[in-house]
Structure 1
Amino acid sequence: MMRDIWCVAWKELMLTRRNLKTYATSYGIVIAIWGIFMPVSMADSIWNGDVSMAILMFAYLSVFLASGQTISAFVGERMQKTLGTLLTTRLSDAAIYLGKVLAIILTAYAVTLLVLGLHLSAVWYTAMLKGYQSKFPYAPVELTFMLVLPVFSLLYTSALGVYASLKSTNIRGQHFLNLFMGLPVLAIFYQVLKSLSWQSLLISMAIFGVVVVGITLFSIGRFNRQRLILQ
């Protein structure tokens, strides 16, 4: 099962690689905004200890990235009339579904980590220019939150987004829907950020992990390649 999932994910990753020029243009703009412009504009607040908005905007990046990827998962294939190839594979429906979700998560999280590096560099550079005390801008629990929150956002958005793409025939409508799917995640974790501690972080992650698993299992149960092609 794991090998089948990875086969699907690898196929999707290679497809992304072949379309690298297209992704580089759109991702380049996003990386510049989230990795340079936003941290520079928020640097004063970050160095003064108000990091909630910076963390949430960073987390929303993963939702934004996953939104574009989930669109191509099935809506793109339907519009390009390549869904018929799903019938010729020996792979199970669950492997196809999970492989596509895994590819979305790997691609989006890799870009997210790149943006995090640029984010920290931009904040430090701004601190040097404005004479702030040279120290790491985030507490350990805040940095952990920034590393883990995008993973949960990606799991949630990609699983729910791929399921929604099974029903959608319009890319524009799907993109609009996906962007708003992540808002409940950010609203929940904004409340956690108000009194962030290791305990509240672990509890919130555990609760949200159960929700994500439930959504994923529901989506797998609803996915049927033959019904998808006949829609």
Structure 2
Amino acid sequence: MKNAAKWAGSGTLESSVEAAPIGGLVKRGFDIVGASAALILLSPLLLLLSLLVKFSDGGSVFYGHRRIGRGGRVFHCLKFRTMVENGDEVLAAHLAAHPECREEWRATRKLRRDPRVTRVGRVLRKLSLDELPQIINILQGDMSIVGPRPVVKDELDIYGSCAIFYLKSRPGLTGLWQVSGRNDTSYANRVALDRHYVENWSFSTDLVIIMKTIPAVCTSRGSY
């Protein structure tokens, strides 16, 4: 059995026996069926978006960012590329020149006016279309249709002792945070929503979140 990662309040990873993810076989079975159907039905749209990203600047179509999954496992979270290829350098220069942006980045790991985002990428993000390749992550077992948003390792420091709740569930393509205002809410509220979701999980809750995701995406609430 592989070691899982348990995040202690001190911010260190400790090996522990892997616990079953929330939802068990019911949640995993729904993920496989739902993701398989979505991949088939959305294949024309996925092809169109791939061409749009590719021909917009000639760069790569997909971007796989290292994120922390269930039990502390690292996986590559797939997205359509929405940023310039040299994004790290652009971000570093921008934060160095704008102290107010450094504070925004430190608090939320996001920027309302991110200089790395391309014109095509801005549209994809606004409509949450950039996240559709995560259907593949769901089929691979790294993610779930519904769950906490995947985070990078540094973000678990912000979660503190609540990180253990995040680690009990597969990260989700959608979730309670996405239908509760997304970036319009504070990061502390995001952590609280993740904890509430894990502690109170039910299959009916997942269905409600999925239904609420559609109007949330259509109104672009809290997305940037």
Same fold (TM over 0.5): no
Larger Rg: 1
Structure with the bigger percentage of helix = 1
Structure with the bigger percentage of strand = 2
TM-score (norm 1): 0.32
TM-score (norm 2): 0.33
